A and B are shown apart, each in its own frame.
Chain A
Amino acid sequence: MGKEQGIRVENLVKHFGEGETRVDVIDGASFTVNKGELIALIAPSGAGKTTLLMMIGCVTEPNGGTIWLGEEKVYEDGWLVKDTRSIRREKIGFIFQAPYLIPFLNIIENITLLPQANGVSQKDANAKAMELLTYLDIADKARMSGSQLSGGQNQRVAIARALANDPQIILADEPTAALDTERSISVVKMLKKIAEEQGVAVIMVTHDETVLPYCDRIMEIVDKKVVMKDSLSDVKII
């Protein structure tokens, strides 16, 4: 696969508060993530990892800069799309620290909710969900509720949910935080496989250095800017 642009960010700026209470979080971040790449985003707690993820995910509005998702410019000193939620619905898959499955929906309903909101028929959404669950090796759990599954299985369901709308981008916020090393590596390998096979650009926030060797590149937030690391030896997780 060629170096097709998945996410491109230029001079992104974000601060909270004004005047004396102003706190600058991101100040001139620029980077590109290609389709098919799995990028680890590391930084100490409070450095702005989740804020950066939420800006790329069209959840939190930046204070300046430009964001492209694929070839579509979605932000340039203001949102360029009226409904940012539709961008999330159609282009982005989210995976969180915990699975956060909807407790009153079973596994397959959790996965098909978003495609159905996008207008996909229930039949097609179910077929796609079963395909994903098979791919993630939990097809037999389709009619169960999240409370009947282990933490690792729930996180796989969360991955399936993130993939259900055929996203161009996956934003994962510490997806392995609640898992042991073995399961963490398993989940990251899975994200890597998805990125490669489906041409998805994946950014994964992590504090877990054991998963870093499985990522294509590592980004670090240093002094409110994003720095790409050339090798693992440059990385120091705090």
Chain B
Amino acid sequence: MINLAAKDISHSLSKFIITAVGVGMLLGIVLIMLGVYRGMISDATTLIDDINSDIWVVQEDTLGPFAEPSRLHEDFKNTLRSLDGIALSSAMTFQNLQLPHSNGKTTRVFAVGYDPLGKMIPLNPKRIVEGRGLEHDHYEIVVSKKTGFVLNEKIPLGRDLYTVVGITEKTVSSGGDLLVYMSLKDAQNLQFLYSNARIRADRARGIKGMDSHMVNAVVATVKAGHTPTEVASQIKQWKHKGVFTNNAQKEILTGNLIKMASKQIGMFTVILLVVSIVIIAMIIYNMTVEKIKEIAVMKLIGIPNKLIVKMIVQETMLLGVLAFIAGVSFSHLIYTKFPKNVVLLTEDAVRLFVVILIASLLASLFGAKKAIDADPTSAIGG
């Protein structure tokens, strides 16, 4: 049997391909939007994944340093080690800073403070593209490449000058700020130590000096034979502390913090997808209207509806598939040009493919309805 769809498409091949590429670019943007969402998830968990702890101990009744202010004493890391199940523990600080450039501009960053001589290092060595990690307790800083700072550049922060000893890539906080790494002592000073003038003024008002040996979280790993949940349940019995497993802390980040952003992106994605489907439907409808005379002739001479509908459905499905291929190609061509991290996943592409197949099938119904309703007598004059 003659394949009417193949014949019709080959008759106006360039027009069909240009149309498919046009729709494909729209689908490419849908994939990019999904990639932006995936990038947000990936960014949000980069730091947690790099820290690679099993347990997060934070201030009582808080959700941890990524969700709300959390303070606890640094020496809790030692107390924690008294538990049987704990293998390693380390205190860390997390804070936003404005890094001043020599030209007067500043860059907002998210600073991670940790013990560079300890055993739990949140700076993943594979992310260092220049220089090295922290090796000393003071005045060293490792920055993300996108901050614009270069190796050995001096950055004034608080009372001191910090030297850039390392440059990293793909290090972003859950809030989208670039990550920098500094020693715990320096980070504590920047976060908790007031200026001399402020200390003098506080003393004059009878206020005791602020304890700078505070941290935002204590992280720990558990020994083999113990589970994070079991160890966390023991810590929960202690007063004035909150405790989360690593998965729970991740859930707080991805489930709560970026929920609104992901909803926003989800809305954009759905709208784009609906627009794409409407455009496919309109294209198919127009393609059917363009050959309504031929369809009327076919109906008049006795060609069954199923053959005509089959032609329309096959053309729509092929348009959808070609548009999808064009969309995937387009998204892979441009995704690296975006300033934020865009992660294109095969599973997202597969989901989009299924949606496009279903949408194309539904869109073809518009054309099919038009063809079925076509009056065969309109083929001839009277």
Contact = CB atoms under 8 A, between A and B. Distances in A.
Interface in B1-42: 1-2, 4, 7-8, 10-12
Interface in A9-53: 46, 49-51
Interface in A67-100: 85-90, 92-94, 96-97, 100
Interface in A96-138: 96-97, 100, 102-105, 109, 112-114, 116-117, 122
A102 B298 contact: yes
A228 to B, nearest CB: 22
B379 A114 contact: no
Contacts of B12: 104
A173 B1 contact: no
Contact of A117 (B293, B297, B302, B380): B302
Interface residues of B, number: 27
B225 interface: no
A181 interface: no
Nearest to A121: B1
Given A102-B294, A122-B1, A109 B302 contact: no
A113 B303 contact: yes
B10, B291, B379 pick with most chain A CB within 10 angstroms: B379
Contact of B302 (A86, A100, A103, A174): A86
B301 interface: yes
Given A92-B302, A94-B300, A50 B381 contact: yes
Contact of B297 (A46, A89, A100): A100
B156 interface: no
Given A96-B379, A104-B8, A117-B307, A59 B300 contact: yes
Given A104-B8, A122-B1, A50 B303 contact: no
B382 interface: yes
Given A105-B2, A109-B2, A114 B303 contact: yes
A162 B307 CA distance: 19
Contacts of B301: 88-89, 93-94, 114, 161-162
A50 B377 CA distance: 9
Given A114-B301, A117-B307, A100 B2 contact: no
B376 interface: yes
Contact of B303 (A57, A59, A89): A89
Contact of A173 (B11, B293, B302, B380): B380
B69 interface: no
Given A102-B298, A104-B7, A116 B1 contact: yes
Interface of A: 46, 49-51, 54, 57, 59-60, 85-90, 92-94, 96-97, 100, 102-105, 109, 112-114, 116-117, 122, 161-162, 165, 173-174
Given A50-B382, A114-B303, A161-B301, 19 more contacts: A46-B382, A50-B380, A85-B303, A86-B304, A89-B303, A89-B304, A90-B302, A100-B293, A100-B379, A104-B4, A104-B7, A104-B10, A104-B12, A105-B7, A109-B2, A109-B7, A112-B2, A116-B2, A173-B381
13 contacts: A57-B300, A85-B303, A85-B305, A89-B302, A92-B302, A97-B380, A100-B379, A103-B294, A104-B4, A104-B7, A114-B303, A117-B304, A161-B301
Q: Which 10 A-B pairs have the closest CB atoms?
A: A89-B302, A50-B382, A104-B11, A88-B302, A104-B8, A100-B297, A104-B7, A96-B380, A116-B1, A102-B294
